[in-house]
Every structure is written in structure tokens, then in C-alpha cells.
Amino acid sequence: MKTIITYGTFDLFHFGHVRLFKRLKNLGDRLIVGVSTDEFNALKGKAAFFNYQQRIEIVEACKYVDMVIAETDWRQKRSDIIRLNADVFAIGDDWAGKFDELNDICSVLYLERTQQISTTDIKNNLATP
């Protein structure tokens, strides 16, 4: 069984996230998603609209997702990949090159982001009178 793993905040879940998960699931048999906790988001300098429990409820409901784990630390990826026997670590290309050091234990892929959509754009558009 080929396992894919990815990580993110996934706030205001949108079709860019869905298209990422769909592509990731098509790469293998099992997709594991690490969802950033509210505390880790603070470390990332992000304030999500939905809290951690709400965001994992939404991500778990996505038909492409097989397992959700908590992302609490920048350094957990290596141990997660080993513990969960992940074959591929993949993430959007806004992170291109940032996780290459994982390529001694799994394939590392950076997938093109979906254009014209982002959580930030949604927030900004809703905030504009």
C-alpha cells in the first residue's frame, strides 16, 4: 500500500485544498493529512477562522482523506513518515525546496497550487465593503 502524507492549516476549506487532496490520493492508496493545531498556527504566524477541531472535522469529511493527524511542530515530519510508513511527502509548490531533506526516507513532491483561490483572498474579499 502506497501512503502519501501532507500537512497544512486548511482553513476555510476550498476547492484548492480539494484539488490538492484529489491529486495526492491519485498518487497512491492512502492519504494522511497533518492538520496544524491552533498553537502551531500561532508559530506559523497564522490565525485560522475555524479552530483546530472544526478544521479536522472538515478535512476528515473529504472523501480523498484516509487519516488525519495533528501537526504541532515543524520537526515532526520525519518521525511521522517513518512511523506511518509514508512513501511520499507532498505539498504545494509554495513550499518548493523547503522539505528536500526528507528525500532520504521518502519521495518529496511539490505540486502546483490551484490558481485564483486562497484562504487569504477569501478573507480579504469578504472583508471588502
CB-based closest residue to ligand C2G: 92
56 binds ligand C2G (CB under 6 A): no
DSSP assignment of 31-80 equals EEEEEEPHHHHHHHT---SS-HHHHHHHHHTSTT--EEEEE--GGGHHHH
Which entry of 2, 46, 77, 98 is annotated as an active-site residue? 46
Residue 46: active-site member = yes
In whole angstroms, what is the distance from residue 71 CA to residue 59 CA?
13
Residue 44: active-site member = yes
**Interface with ligand C2G (CB under 6 A):** 7-10, 16-17, 20, 36, 44, 71, 91-92, 94, 113-114, 117-118
